[in-house]
Amino acid sequence: GSAIISSAFEGPARAKAFALFGTVAGVGVALGPTVSGPAVDALGWRWIFGLQALVLAAVLACVPVIARSVREPVGGGGRLDVRGAVVFVLAMAALTYAIVQGSAWGWASAGTLGLLLASLVLFGAFGALAKRTPAPLLDLSAVRNRRFLA
């Protein structure tokens, strides 16, 4: 979603699009459990999966129209940052496994601390790679923008 917004909008329109995207996500998180509970009680849990299939079908039907309207990113279609993607996935996996296993192993255990340290090192490597890659997986200059972080 955010990649499409980044390439489809510029300037103030991009800020508005990100604001709308965040608002819809926030409303979904807030209303999802509230609405889905009574819906499951009234219609059954299978209905929720059917609704998801209908929404997916509608989105897939819109993809060709959206794809035609989205312009190429500035600088052309860059190559995928495979090294950055691999390092980021490894960092996230180490962090997630440390969090999941931390209560079983003990938060001060060698395994948990080792995984946390590995994730920290891998995130650092990801940042270093992002600075040296012409088309990084995540443009870290966006993190310096306070409006982007908000």
Q: Where are the domains of the chain?
A: 2-69, 82-149
Residues 6+ apart with CB under 8 A from 81: 129, 130, 133, 135, 136, 137
Q: Give pLDDT, residue 133.
A: 86
CA separation for the pair 39, 97 (Å, rounded): 34
Q: Residue 12: which H helix or E strand, with range? A: helix 11-43
What pLDDT digit, counting tens, does each position of 22-48 carry?
999 999 899 988 988 888 899 888 888
pLDDT band for 78, please (50, 70, 90 cuts).
low
Checking if the pLDDT of 75 tops 60, the result is no
Tell whether pTM > 0.75: no
Share of the chain above pLDDT 90, in %: 43
